Amino acid sequence: MFESRCGVLCNSCARKEKVNCKGCTQMKGPFWGGECKVKTCCESKELNHCGECDTFPCDMLSNMGKDRGFDPTIKIEQCRKWLSEEKSLNDSLN
């Protein structure tokens, strides 16, 4: 259902093949090396994505990529969508 921890739609990424990225949910570390603090945070809390967090949206996610000209609201809205889908699925199962 979800493709990343932060709300990026990895399966729609044009660069995915070029950089040999399988998506952060399928990789130990990010394709660029180093650490993704959002990935580390989600995984330490055993969350599928940021939308499941009690502090969502936190400052880290709300500012992610801003310094490089990216709009974090797109990722935040995607996490909200994933959370809504999870709740709908759980409601239909109960």
Question: What is residue 91's predicted lDDT score, i.e. its pLDDT?
Answer: 85
Instruction: For residue 2, tell me if it sits in a domain.
Output: no
Query: Residue 23's domain spans which residues?
Result: 10-93
DSSP letters along 49-78, please?
SGGGSTTPSPHHHHHTTGGGT--HHHHHHH
Domain count, the chain: 1
How many Å apart are CA 79 and CA 2, to the nearest integer? 8
In this structure, which amino acid lies at residue 91? D
Q: Is residue 77 part of a domain?
A: yes
Residue 70 and residue 92: Cα distance in Å, rounded?
36
pLDDT in single tens digits along all 94 residues of the chain: 788 999 999 888 888 889 888 888 888 888 888 899 999 999 999 999 999 999 999 999 999 999 999 999 999 999 999 999 998 988 888 7
Distance from C-alpha of 6 to C-alpha of 9, rounded to nearest angstrom: 9
The pLDDT value given to residue 15? 86
Flag whether 5 is in a domain: no
User: Given this model, what pLDDT does residue 67 score?
Assistant: 94
Residue with tokens 């709908």: 88
